[in-house]
Amino acid sequence: MSVKRFPNSATPSELASVIEADGGVIVKGFLSPSLLENLKQDLLPMLETTPNGVDEYFAGAQTRRLSRLFARTDHMVDVALNPLYLETARLILQKPIKLWSGENQVEVAPDIQVGVTQAIQIRPGQGMQPLHRDDSVWLWRHPGYNREARVQIMIAITDFSEENGGTLVIPGSHKWDDERMPKQEEAIPTAMDAGDALIFIGSTYHGGGQNRSNAPRTGLTMSYDLAILRQEENHYLTLPIERVKRFPEDMQRLLGWSCSTTYAGFVERNGVMTDPQALLQQDDFVEVGHFN
């Protein structure tokens, strides 16, 4: 079974349907050439001074990881708000459920939020990363829940190939239970041109490949997760408030500066359960939990 490929003219509904069936999909030309070049200019110099991972097993002793991407490049907003990714994630994650509130039954869709962000550079000599599911960060069970927890994207900043460690994916593995062990021979390396993207769900087994080439392989990854779950990367502590204030409101909300229809995420101001958006509008709000 291969990973299906779609042009960037595909619709979110087309992508969501294939992802739910196969566990992942590749989008050709996800990034515009100008956005790709801007991300390279911002991130590649930082990766040159980023230390390698501290372990060979998972982080990778020949792998460099750069997080806090919304604090490091303004162009992450263009990635995150790309409707092909964002709307695909919404279709998969925001499936409504019915709740009773007294005598009224209401339909409520869960919110989503940005989870992890990383630029990942696999350097020559790095071995294969263990195959894993990203939703294991919440100890997600398979089967056992009626929805997915995460929609992840891996964007090729440089070309991905089998030789240089292109991300390995096991199509269909999102349907496996937790007793079935992923095997290396079941994994398919993703070959992608720079600017292409792999979109997959948190229950799909995947991992970084072995880099047998003489050049590094660089990718950019981020996730949209159910907002009822704790963010894997703590954006509240890594993003200065003044930077958050400059983002579009949609981006602020997706980073967690929001209150859901069920009041998850509210802040109390003067005895009122308030949407955090109200804080961002105040000039004297300069630090989490503090006012001038």
Ramachandran class of 149: left when φ > 0, alpha when ψ lies in -120 to 50, beta otherwise: alpha
Instruction: State the pLDDT confidence band at 291, using cuts at 50, 70 and 90.
Output: very low
Nearest to 219 by CA among 252, 191, 239: 191
> Average pLDDT, stretch 231-258?
94
Is the pLDDT confidence value at 286 over 90?
Answer: no
Please give the DSSP secondary-structure letter assigned to residue 153: E
Is the pLDDT confidence value at 287 over 70?
Answer: no
Alpha helices in 229-270 (DSSP H): 235-238, 241-246, 249-254
Give the pLDDT of residue 288. Answer: 56
pTM: 0.94
Instruction: State the pLDDT confidence band at 55, using cuts at 50, 70 and 90.
Output: confident
Contact in structure between 30 and 196 (CB atoms under 8 Å): yes
